[in-house]
Amino acid sequence: MKIYIYSFIIVILVVGCTPAKYNGLKEGLYAEIQTNKGDVLLELYAEDAPMTVANFVSLAEGTNTKVTDSIQGKKYFDGIRFHRVVNNFIIQGGDPTETGRGTAGYRFGDEFTKDINGKLLHIHGDAGMLSMANGGPESNGSQFFITHRAIPHLDGKHTVFGKTVVNSLQLNTLKLQIKDSLKRKNAIDSLRMSVVNSIQQFDTIFTVKIIRIGAVANAFKAGEVFDNEFIKYAEGKKDRNKKAKDADEERFSKYLENRTTFLAKMNESKAIKTASGLRILKLTSNPSGKKVVTNKPIKAHFTLYIADGTKIQSTLDSGNPFVFQLDDAEKPMITGFKEGAATLRVGEKARLFIPYYIGFGEAKYGPFPAKSDLVFEVEILEIGE
């Protein structure tokens, strides 16, 4: 009986110590970013992104063991400003250098947890998503951002580990004031984003307060969790790399098979091969047309394919021609396209078969897988003065 009474007293004490504005929150981890514009409350996805959440929480509480010696034991986010704010996109913080390149002294990997159907559990599908800023795969550090809206093209590139929410007092007030469920939802969304939407570049984070609701959250020792998850991630990297390599080899094998079929369909064998490996198939000839030169604007229609038949883009779909200049240093063209376009005249149309090494290269680039040969259909419409 004494054990039960003692447990009951502990529960009463824990609940009693919880401020009223957090009392109604469901069990879990939360972060309150306190700024000069007000407070932003975030629910953290500790179960689905434990390493990322532990990183954020340990930095906030000063328990991260991997930070540089000069900031060991310090609350990392205190006094840091939002160095990047893009209207209707994101607010970004966590970089004391305010250059976009600052870190706490280490990097760690991505957590893209998926459901049984292979879909990401958390995406940039709404305003108020808390996500990691990075410079590419496995380059997370201390920088984070919060979205102003849904930004689906960031899915699978940046780890989502939380979302803005309203506190208990705010929610109870809205429940009393607004009975219509849809109107209440809209009011909640507006309120949880009010401070985020007011943040401007160089607004200040005073501190990040971590709120623990429930036994599991109270047992979450962020510094220890991050250290353990960091080791687990490193140990699993070899297996992930092998799976990625196997998947890419399978993709490339299928690509080669489809490439053979597509290039035959596009009459590659009839194209004239140049010294660089480029092949040019003239579809329409106009010997009297004005010749393409490198230093004048060119108006053209084009359709671009990966050599397996995947269509990437076509100006014909929109009806808006592409205007470019072959010697434009600010918007450089790939080598194979420059060589092929330079052989054409106004009124001529050609199909350019571009090997990857004079295209986008050996590595993956945007929508182009590694070692992607290209097929460019281009029609020269006009050459400017």
Q: Which residues are catalytic?
A: 84, 89, 92, 134, 145, 154, 158
Measured between its terminal Cα atoms, the distance across the chain in Å is: 94
What phi-psi label fits residue 129: left (phi over 0), alpha (psi between -120 and 50 degrees) or beta?
beta
Contact indicator for 280, 271 with CB cutoff of 8 Å: yes
Cα–Cα distance measured from residue 353 to residue 375, given in angstroms and rounded to the nearest whole number: 5
Cα–Cα distance measured from residue 29 to residue 52, given in angstroms and rounded to the nearest whole number: 13
Cα–Cα distance measured from residue 60 to residue 209, given in angstroms and rounded to the nearest whole number: 7
Q: Which of 300, 299, 290 is closest to 350 using CA atoms? A: 300
Cα–Cα distance measured from residue 314 to residue 376, given in angstroms and rounded to the nearest whole number: 10
Contact indicator for 76, 210 with CB cutoff of 8 Å: no
Cα–Cα distance measured from residue 237 to residue 254, given in angstroms and rounded to the nearest whole number: 26
Q: Which two tokens stand for residue 240?
A: 């992930």
DSSP 279-293: EEEEEE--TTSPBP-
Q: Which of 107, 167, 150, 114 is closest to 132 using CA atoms? A: 107
Cα–Cα distance measured from residue 167 to residue 281, given in angstroms and rounded to the nearest whole number: 65
